[in-house]
Amino acid sequence: MAEKDLAGRKALVTGSATGLGRSIALKLAERGADLIINCTRSLSEAEETVAECNKLGAQTQLVAADVSTEEGCRKLADAASGWGRLDILVNNAGITRHAQDHSDLDALTRQDFLDTYAVNVAGPFLLMQACKPLLEKAYEESGRASAVLNVSSIAGVTGIGSSVAYAATKGALNTMTLSLARALAPAIRINAVCPGFIGTRWFKDRLNSDQYERMEAGVAKATPLGVASGPDDIADSAVFFLTDASRHVTGETLLVDAGMHLGYAPLSAR
C-alpha cells in the first residue's frame, strides 16, 4: 500500500487515458491526490482510468480537451479552478508523425511539423499559461512549490526517434523546461522526464504481435540494463518529480531509458 503523501493535493495529467499518462495518474491517485484525467478522443479508455483512480480513493473528473488549442487549455484550467488551486501539472499529451528514416526529408511535410509542435510544444506552454494562477495559488496556500512535469523523450536529447519532427519538438520542450523553471521559481518548479522505448499502443497499434515482440526483444538487447520499459517503469521515476522527495529539484531533465543513450543503434539499422 503506497504512502498517502500526496493526500489533499490536486493534479492534472494530460493525455492520461492510456499509456504513460494513465500510469502516472494511477500512481498519483494511489498516493492520495485528486485528479483531472484528460483525453482528446480516447473517451472509453479515459473513463476506465477515471474508474480506476476512483477505486484508489481519488476524487476524479474527466475533461476531454485538445491541449494544442487555447480553448482546450482554458477548459482544463477552468475544471481545475473548481479546486481553487493546482498542486501538480503533468504535460504528458504528445503526438508524432512516423518517419523513421531521418534521411528521407520528403517523408515529412510542413503541416506534419506544425501539427507535432502544436501538441508537443505549444500545448505545454498554453496549459502553463492557463494554469499559472492556480499553480501560484497552491504555493501561496502551502508554502510549497507547485510541481510541473514535462514528459519529453530521449529523442530530444539524442535526435533519434520516430521522426525528425518529433525529436525537434522534444528538444524544444527540454529547453522550455529550463526557461520556465528559471522564470517561474520559487512558486513553481518544473522538470522533465525523457523516456526511451515505452511499450505502449504507439507501437502496438502499428505492429502485429510477432513484430512487436521482436521489437521489444531488440530494444532489451540494445540497452545496457537489458530491459524494455513499460509505462509503470517510467511512471515510477516520473512521480519522484511530483512529490516532496524532489522539493529542491527544478530545471532537471532526467533520462529514463535503461541506459539506451549510452549506446543505441536505431532498430532499422540492426
**Rounded to the nearest 10 degrees, how much is the dihedral formed by the CA atoms of 81, 85, 89, 94?**
10
CA distance 180 to 192: 11
Integer CA distances (angstroms), 167 to 58, 86, 120, 163, 226, in order: 35, 30, 10, 6, 24
**Grid cell digits, residue 161:** 526517434
Q: Which residues are catalytic?
A: 166
**Omega of the bond leading into 186 within 30 degrees of 0 (cis):** yes
CA distance 234 to 254: 11
**Grid cell digits, residue 30:** 494511489
CA distance 213 to 211: 6
Asked if 188 contacts 127 with a C-beta cutoff of 8 angstroms, the reply is: no
Q: Which is it for the CA torsion 74, 75, 80, 84, positive or negative?
A: positive
Q: In what order do the strands lie in the sheet with 60-64?
A: 60-64, 34-39, 10-13, 88-91, 146-151, 188-195, 253-256
30: exposed, middle or buried (C-beta count within 10 Å: 0-12, 13-18, 19+)? buried
